[in-house]
Amino acid sequence: MNKLTLAGAAIIVVALGAYAVTRSSEQTALVQETTAPAEGAAMVSVMLPDTLSPEGTMGKRAFDAVCADCHGDNAAGKMGIAPPLIHKIYEPSHHGDMAFQMAAANGVRAHHWKFGDMPPQPGVTRADVTSIIAYIREVQRANGIN
């Protein structure tokens, strides 16, 4: 083979390699875009405050015991199960503290999300919910939700 043929062959091999790498990356990106998160995966990323107030600390314990099974660790929600409470929809001006009290006492019909209705939580006292609210509000503020 002469030098010109070798150079041409090398250019073709490099071009085909570049095409294959680009095509593979495009296909990987397409798969990543269309793959839905697994059921139960956290719905939002949550930053925790550096410290919690004493009431917020009690609220975290109560939240972890009663709410986290559905609403996820740190109220990040669970894909396919329940919404995140660290979300603008639950900011105090839209869902005030009384809305949380009523949801725990009476349950709530699905209206913002398609997870179904939330059942009442009869084992949770008003004091428990007050502490849970303190925790949720402190975490909301740490995430820019006021």
What's the pLDDT tens digit per position in 5-19? 544 444 554 444 444
Query: Taking the CB of residue 104, how many other CB atoms lie within 10 A of it?
Result: 23
Q: What is the mean pLDDT of the chain?
A: 85
Across-strand partners of 108? 118
Q: What is the pLDDT of residue 122?
A: 95
Q: What is the pLDDT of residue 35?
A: 75
Question: If phi over 0 gives left and psi between -120 and 50 gives alpha, with beta otherwise, what is residue 18?
Answer: alpha
51-85 pLDDT, tens digit per residue, is: 999 999 999 999 999 999 999 999 999 999 999 99
Q: What is the mean pLDDT of residues 94-104?
A: 97
3-state secondary structure of 125: coil
Task: Answer with the residue of higher pLDDT: 134 or 1.
Answer: 134
Position 45, amino acid: S
Q: What is the pLDDT of residue 9?
A: 46
66 and 128 Cβ atoms separated by less than 8 Å: yes
Instruction: Determine what percent of the chain is predicted with pLDDT higher than 70.
Output: 77
Q: What is the pLDDT of residue 11?
A: 52
Task: Give the DSSP letter of residue 67.
Answer: T
Per-range mean pLDDT, top range of 26-30, 34-38, 141-145: 141-145
> Which residue matches tokens 């990106």?
29
Phi, psi of 84 (to 5 degrees): -75, 140
